[in-house]
Amino acid sequence: MNTTSDASDPQRVKRRDFLKTTGLLATGLFSYRLPVVAGPFRPEDWRVDQVPVDKKLDPAWVKSLYERGAVTTYYKSKNELQFIGMPVGGIHTGTVYLGGDGRLWLWDIFNQNQEGINPKEIYLGQQKVRSRDGSAYVEPARDIRPLEQGFAIRLDYDGKSVVRQFRADDWAEIAFEATYPIATLHYTDPALPVAVRLEAYSPFIPLDEANSGLPATIFSFSVTNTSESTVQVTLLGWLENKAALYSGQEATHQRINAAYEARGFRAVVEEARTQAGTSEALTQQPDYGNFCLAFLGRKAEVLTDLALPVTADSFTAKATAPTVRNLSEAAVGAVRTSYRLRPGQQADTQAVLSWYFPNLSFKPIKDTGRFYANDFGSAREVAQYIQQHFKKLAGLSHRWKQTWYDDTTLPWWFQERTFVNLSTLATTTCHRLASGRFYAWEGVGCCPGTCTHVWQYAQGVGRIFPALERDTRERVDLGVGFTESDGKIAFRAEADKRPAVDGQAGTILRIYREHQMSADDQFLRRNWDKVKKALEYLIQLDRNQDGMQDTPLENTLDAVWDGEIAWIVGLCIAAVRAGQAMGEDLGDAAFAERCRSYVEKGRRNMETHLFNGEYFIHRPDPEKGRKRLGSYNTSHIDQVYGQSWAFQVGLGRILDQEKTVSALRSLWKYNFTPDVGPYISEHKGGRPYALAGDGGMIMNTNPKNEARPYGEDVTWQLGYFHECMSGFEHQVASHLMAEGLLDEALVLTRSIHDRYHAAKRNPFNEIECSDHYARALASYGTFLMACGFAYHGPKGEMAFAPRWSAADFRAPFTAATGWGSYAQAKTTAGQTHTLEVRYGTLSLRTLRLELLDDRPVTVATTRRGRKKVPVQVQQEGTSVRLHWPEGLVLQTNQVLTITL
């Protein structure tokens, strides 16, 4: 977010000095400027803890945030491609980045468990910044290429022969459309007779984690003849064999490239072996495995040995016999295909690049390995599976992209930012072990054990791949991490058996979400005894049983706080409220009543004792006082997080609306700043997840201007208070959206989006404690709240209440066994609503919709396809409840139409 200031503003001088001393101006990182959207500011605007109370946002810019707009497209001509790294492998298969020019890079697939995408330390002024501290935010990674890979095209026309590689240097313009999971690139050059479009992706199908977890990237090239002449086109792809990249020994190992042909499939297969053949020692290495590069369908030729760099001769060279190379020699395999295009004609070519490195391991866990190795024995098998199921895999992946991005009235940028963090699943933050277990770091290679107090912020996985989350709750949180005797949940499973108070509460809420995203109640019923124990443990952490948890335990800010802390108390209240709902679902009336009584007591006391008239606070322990680190009277970003969670799972209000909204307005007033520069120049110690010129919401600020606001004996964790961490910000944005504070929700989300503009850093890598941080998956929750979406699979209940553009609204939805598109529109006769299932099935008994005017509604017409379906109608205030007593099932491609 860009701002302007008066020239005499001393804070502006500080900001300039900050940039100068950190070297950011010299590196050119801030040579790109987004449009100015706030200001001008005067010195007195920054007097409340260096955060302007009046944000001075441009009203036209704020209005533009609601507009549909167009797909975010980054251009070579604007120098916007160099930092792009879109994860383009399957989920849980390592990290392979698609660069802004269409080449693959990074290649973290060799099971090295490195910390960060680029393990390095840098200096920001005098501050050392590690990978886990945000080095990739300050100095974004680029061009990490441990192996050579690429595509090139040869064009023969009008007596000319032209060769161009698909890289930035070779084209007048490259445009990159940033729509995870499918990126679209356009290559154009007025000197050439063709235009080329590339789609690059790995199959991504919500609810189908197996087919979304293939270790492969698909390249779909579409070449169009834009000239008046016939053009002979030859497309060449190559891949360097770097199997055994780390463990290979020059004296004992070799790399082998071999051709493989089958019907509609031409490939080069690349592997490593010892000179005497494959040895057991080699097969046990983390980087043992193989690659495959294949062209599908169109007849192609395989080259087992391609000399680099690519020249015109590369398109006619022959090399079909197996190629064996020592490790010091490049072993590059290639595949090419050729065809003729008449003027105006267009042709498509599909290529698959796959990898197979199954020897994943983590020290605390036995018998690991990669899940994809259960179904495949080599990269070639992966590529052939894709070929054999290409229509389904490509078709459903594109159908999801269309449903999410194209068939919606929500803004393009909003859909991009709220979904982009699902790409974290396709990085080395996340793994699926051979046993089927989901295992994750907090960020790439940093902080093990699928940490409960971090991952409980993530809303995306539970909605897109709910089976993964159900299994993790059952196998890990209520399994290897569960203590049967008292119900505590280890916050890092095997890696750390201690409980974290917020992790315990958040995991209970996730169990309720996983129950809601199930087709029936069997998941919850199987685990109910353990869930009750976990809830009892949480309740017992409230030492005086006043409804406010007060036992000091570890929390997500890596410290143990004393006293009654609003964000912890509220989160525990939300968790117990979820316990009430789960008890009611299973008919456990006694336990549900116990939870209800506790929630009422907690709500009453929290509102009475922890609300200061403006926002919620941290009340010190009466004996220990403010000796230890805490948020106390400051404005803390998570102060009403429990209410935010409650909205995510349709629990309604657990806190008073007026007080909750006041707290959110205080966060906007005291914590959000259009430019963090003045704040971080005064408050040292925070990690650089936002820099001068960036807008964001500060974790903690000191509106009362107290001398020692964070306690008497502060520790290193104090630095967290002075940071902008996108996962927390997304959580607040979703809550703002749910409460109808739409401007604030969109501005905060857009601030994150602009911080990760490709001209400045990788738009696909939201950073906290290392890269691709799990907490940022909270972004999906903002989308859910924009739709006013609620769902309960076992009950067959669904609801929509769009926050804006309700008279003409379309958006995607996911459910337990299907996904599709929802639409509503105001008509002259009333209003219409449609639910179209595009994958799987949708079972409904109840659908709740918002009325678009104040007329009474007593009847409705519902049709499944052309057939009328009887329905019961009940108006409840401004909403209408549609009920099908016998249930209603929609199959793929069926549409339910409702007229009110």
DSSP string, 440-455: E-SBTTBS-S--HHHH
DSSP state at residue 313: G
Q: Which CATH number fits domain 85-103+145-399: 2.60.40, 3.30.450, 1.20.81, 2.70.98?
A: 2.70.98
Report which residue type is found at 310. V
CA distance 523 to 512: 10
Could you tell me if 847 and 789 are in contact, meaning their C-beta atoms sit under 8 angstroms apart? no
Instruction: Please state the length of the chain.
Output: 900
CA distance 484 to 12: 57
Element (H, E) at 235: strand 231-240
CA distance 739 to 742: 8
List of residues 6+ apart from 606 with CB closer than 8 A: 547, 548, 566, 569, 570, 573, 616, 655
Mean pLDDT (the chain, rounded)? 95
| pLDDT reported for residue 355 | 99
Where along the chain do its domains lie?
85-103+145-399, 408-787, 790-899
CA distance 20 to 23: 5
User: Which residue, among 91, 777, 95, has the nearest Cα to 432 in the 3D structure?
Assistant: 91
In this predicted model, what pLDDT tens digit does every residue of 610-657 receive, in sequence order?
Answer: 999 999 999 999 999 999 999 999 999 999 999 999 999 999 999 999
Q: Which residue has the higher pLDDT, 576 or 274?
A: 576
CATH number of 790-899: 2.60.420
> CA-CA distances (angstroms) from residue 606 to 78, 124, 519, 840?
52, 41, 36, 44
CA distance 784 to 418: 9
Q: What percent of the chain has pLDDT over 70?
A: 96
Q: Which of 9-13, 436-440, 856-860, 891-895 has the lowest mean pLDDT?
A: 9-13
CA distance 524 to 487: 16
The β-bridge relationship of strands 879-890 and 872-876 is: antiparallel
CA distance 662 to 741: 11
CA distance 353 to 97: 13
Give the tokens for residue 886.
Answer: 């016998």
- Kindly list the strands in the beta sheet with 231-240, ordered across the sheet, starting from the edge strand earlier in the chain: 160-165, 149-157, 231-240, 332-341, 301-303
User: Which residue, among 73, 252, 51, 52, has the nearest Cα to 173 in the 3D structure?
Assistant: 73
CA distance 97 to 136: 15
Is residue 4 scored above 50 in pLDDT?
A: no
- The angle, 0 to 180 degrees and rounded to 10, between the axes of the packed helices 742-755 and 779-787 is 150
List of residues 6+ apart from 102 with CB closer than 8 A: 151, 166, 167, 174, 185, 187, 198, 200
| pLDDT reported for residue 15 | 36
Is residue 9 scored above 50 in pLDDT?
A: no
In this predicted model, what pLDDT tens digit does every residue of 25-66 receive, in sequence order?
Answer: 333 344 455 678 999 999 888 887 899 999 999 999 999 999
| pLDDT reported for residue 742 | 99
Is residue 3 scored above 50 in pLDDT?
A: no
CA distance 591 to 781: 29
In this predicted model, what pLDDT tens digit does every residue of 412-434 receive, in sequence order?
Answer: 999 999 999 999 999 999 999 99
Phi, psi of 189 (to 5 degrees): -160, 120
Report which residue type is found at 39. G
What's the whole-number mean pLDDT along residues 836-865?
96
What's the whole-number mean pLDDT along residues 492-515?
98
Beta bridge partners of 177: 73, 184
Beta bridge partners of 122: 129
For domain 408-787, the CATH architecture is Alpha/alpha barrel (1.50)
Give the tokens for residue 900.
Answer: 């009110």
Is residue 23 scored above 60 in pLDDT?
A: no
For residue 387, the Cα-to-chain-centroid distance in whole angstroms is 28
Could you tell me if 564 and 611 are in contact, meaning their C-beta atoms sit under 8 angstroms apart? no
CA distance 524 to 581: 12
| pLDDT reported for residue 33 | 59
In this predicted model, what pLDDT tens digit does every residue of 758-781 receive, in sequence order?
Answer: 999 999 999 999 999 999 999 999
